[in-house]
Structure 1
Amino acid sequence: MTQPPLTLFSALSVRTALDAVLPAFTAAPVEVSYDPTTVLVNRITEGARPEVLIAISGAFPALAELGAIDPASQKALARSGIGVAVPAEADLPNLSTVDDLRTALTSARSVAYSRTGASGIHFANLIEELGIAEQVNARATVLPKGFTAEALLDGRADLAVQQLSELAFVPQVRIAGPLPEEVQQYSELSIALGVTAGPQARELLDFLTGPEAVAAFAEAGLLPA
């Protein structure tokens, strides 16, 4: 009889690392759904019950209160900062200071970002604080979800803002660097078991917090938790 796959809901920012490491997990097939944490939380709130969840740590208390995850199983995985990418052939903008960032954003033909991801929510608030929201949004490429750097490949945008590990998922672009530290936001990612989890889901959680996975997270540009 064919073994049913384990269901894993995961934030986009660890996709590069999971693509590299999951083929080595042989205890059971794994079916992964990648989405921003806000989308994953909405799906779980509406009744979805993954056996394993990787998401921004701040989402877990509400999901535990909902009875969707086992809070005792939660473990921190990694941290990710926000960065900027450009097309492969483009010059790298100066991002050394907040003023440099402001100049890069207001000089861009179009900036791509996602409103549903943690990075996009932070970016939307940031450009308001910098007083450039109207100017940037007038010609921004705002994506509902997904990898914003893909908008650089087809010419929709010439700057893309997202978690650095998500920008790295699109190898045809160049990462200009992180946001200046004064306006940076780091998102911690955690893993936990869902209430439907069985022994093999526990094996998957242990595998994804083990040394092979930790090395894959670092290779993908994620910081230690």
Structure 2
Amino acid sequence: MRRLARLSCGLAALLLATPATAERVLVFAAASLGGTLDEALAPWEAATGHDAVVAYAGSSALARQIEAGAPAQVFISANEAWMDSLDAAALLAPGTRRDLLGNSLVLISGEADVLALEDLPQTLGEGWLAMALTQAVPAGIYGREALVSLDLWDSLEPRVVQAEDVRAALALVALGEAPFGITYASDAAAEPRVHVAATFPADSHAPIRYPAAALAGSGPVAVDLLDWLSGPEAGQVFAAAGFDLP
């Protein structure tokens, strides 16, 4: 009888811990979060039974898709401007927006040598500098801003090759197609074939922040996912991958 009672209590606890209906949450996330975000979400999926599906791309492309009606429920941008645009269009769930992460901007190379940023034009020569789209993608916007601040943009602009997002710029350097590139510190940490040649001064560009929010009409499961990503367990995963925590 006692054993039956224990089994009944255990079954009740299991039923309480498992959602009656598992839900699928579609997350639109900046390309620089690729891999790390999946790792951070895995324990949430295991604990809740819900399924997180992440679509990675440049923040600008994702924001435009959301504006066009894409059925995303959570958006994580690599800069504030694109989140501001969705906020102004009343496409965010009220009260859910928060700064999730930060990052640093680095110059990467296939070689392990350290380089002074002011020496980049001479060292680059006729080579290519890989960057994400400098007028649309956050990593490219931050990179151009930093180069302008350091009086390097005019000399380097003719040698810049622009990629659709920061991971594509990372790949160009990793594959040896470009000797140098500008990415986030977390991207460099994720790719063993590249090395950090220099770190851009924090005051050479706007602060790199990753705002996150549930989207209007997304429901409580999306908010729960966002709260998990803001918590300590997910924070450990992000910190280990080279991101800064608020």
Q: Does 1:195 align with 2:216?
A: yes
With over 3 angstroms needed to count, the CA separation of the structure-2 counterparts of 1:78 and 1:168, relative to structure 1, is same
Counterpart Cα distance in 1 of 2:232 and 2:69: 33
- CA-to-partner distance for each residue in 1:118-152, whole Å, 9 max, x for gaps? 12113224434555435423232211224122111
With over 3 angstroms needed to count, the CA separation of the structure-2 counterparts of 1:208 and 1:130, relative to structure 1, is closer
Deviation of the 1:218 alpha carbon: 0.9
Deviation of the 1:29 alpha carbon: 0.9
Unaligned runs of 5+ residues in structure 1 are 95-99
Deviation of the 1:3 alpha carbon: 5.0
Q: 2:98 aligns with which of 56, 67, 75?
A: 75
Q: 1:136 aligns with which of 147, 156, 165?
A: 156
Q: Does 1:208 align with 2:224?
A: no
Counterpart Cα distance in 2 of 1:92 and 1:105: 15
- CA-to-partner distance for each residue in 1:139-167, whole Å, 9 max, x for gaps? 32211224122111222111110121123
Q: CA RMSD in A?
A: 2.3
Counterpart Cα distance in 1 of 2:121 and 2:199: 14
Q: 1:44 aligns with which of 57, 62, 66?
A: 66
Contact 1:12 1:166 in 2 (8 A): no
Tell me the SS of whatever aligns to 1:49: coil
Matched residue, 1:179: 200
Q: State the TM-score, normalizing by the size of structure 2.
A: 0.79
Identity of aligned residues (%): 22
Deviation of the 1:178 alpha carbon: 1.7
Matched residue, 2:9: none
Letter of the 2:103 counterpart: S
Number of positions where the alignment pairs a residue of Structure 1 with one of Structure 2? 218
- CA-to-partner distance for each residue in 1:9-30, whole Å, 9 max, x for gaps? 1112333431322221222111
Letter of the 2:142 counterpart: H
Contact 1:17 1:219 in 2 (8 A): no
Counterpart Cα distance in 1 of 2:182 and 2:172: 11
Counterpart Cα distance in 1 of 2:81 and 2:57: 16
- Which range moves more in the overlay, 111-120 or 124-133? 124-133
Deviation of the 1:32 alpha carbon: 0.5
Deviation of the 1:177 alpha carbon: 3.7
Tell me the SS of whatever aligns to 2:95: helix
Q: State the TM-score, normalizing by the size of structure 1.
A: 0.85
Q: 1:66 aligns with which of 72, 78, 89?
A: 89
- CA-to-partner distance for each residue in 1:28-62, whole Å, 9 max, x for gaps? 11111112222221111222231111113343333
Q: Does 1:102 align with 2:122?
A: no
The correspondence of residues 86-125 of structure 1 with structure 2, limited to 5 A, is 86-87=109-110, 90-94=111-115, 100-108=116-124, 109-115=127-133, 116-125=136-145
Contact 1:11 1:37 in 2 (8 A): yes
Contact 2:34 2:56 in 1 (8 A): yes
- Which range moves more in the overlay, 35-44 or 166-175? 166-175
Matched residue, 1:97: none
Matched residue, 1:170: 191
Letter of the 1:36 counterpart: G
Unaligned runs of 5+ residues in structure 2 are 1-20
With over 3 angstroms needed to count, the CA separation of the structure-2 counterparts of 1:126 and 1:206, relative to structure 1, is closer
Q: Does 1:145 align with 2:145?
A: no
- Which one has more relative contact order, counting CA pairs under 8 Å at least 6 apart? 1
